[in-house]
Chain A
Amino acid sequence: MAILKVTDLHARYSAKGPEILKGISFEVEDNDFFAIIGPSGAGKSTLIRCINRLVEPTSGSIIFDNRDVTRLRRKDLRRLRRDIGMIFQEFNLINRMSVMDNVLSGRLGYTSDIRTLFRAFPRSDIEHALELLERVGLSDHVDKRADELSGGQRQRVGIARALMQNPKLMLLDEPTSALDPKISREVMELIKQMAQELKVPCLCNIHDVKLAQEFCNKIIGLQDGVTMFSGATELMDEAKLGEIYAMEVL
């Protein structure tokens, strides 16, 4: 069964502005590692932000886990968001806080404002955080400030933070664009490994087509807000790639 079903999604940032997404439809199944590829400006980031409504879509439907995402009210929207982990291109960590606090911030959706004020996370959360930090190889950096870490290490913190939510879906917004090729591969491997182990489907924006073909089982190709390709990775060939990136020099 599909955990996420997007149908005819349209989005624009302002009433008079250009339409960024022009009717996108796709489905993410339970075991998918789903890639969204396309040249910059194609609408990849907008599409992925519509799923957890960091960007409000103008029309179309998004069904996640039997919930109609576009109709959720504020409180239910927060409940939805805590079921969806997100990893960012620029990591988006809180630089002045420790690695531990950054990972724990993944639990904020489950934490009351009063508890937040005193940073009073339950013991189970701290144990969970320590375990995840061990899994991403940061056990020695628990008390360090996030801005003391290297790029690859920061993204590992980002991965641990997203997994802290016990997500039912992960959104990856260009998780490797800010990293060098070697680290990029390591980070993708880590994400894929954790996702398979925890059985979390992933929806991943990715600029690097080679990485997409290597790690993802399905691909949707966008160009200027329109779907140019959609299907299993094996069906993707040079001709179709050329079409998607027609406006950009590869």
Chain B
Amino acid sequence: MTRTYVQPESGTQTLKDLPPSTPEEIRRMAAQAGLQLPDGIMEELCKAYPAFEAMVRRLPRARLKFDEPAHHCVADARIGKLDQ
């Protein structure tokens, strides 16, 4: 029997069902981010972004309020202590 350490996610909701952004929407987001890209590179971004958008939308949402973010300065036993 395989022992499992997977616990049900505190946040099960995702954004997977949203429709993918259109190239026009991606251009608008880039403009809002202040990116002024040459046409060819903007085309690259429009081609690449959907894969990353789908990835981000798979992240669980609506987590329990006390689920804190990891902090990159914590690399010691504090991670383990959080479970006790």
The judgment on whether A and B are partners is no
| Chain A residues within 8 Å of B, Cβ to Cβ | none
Chain B residues within CB distance 8 Å of chain A: none
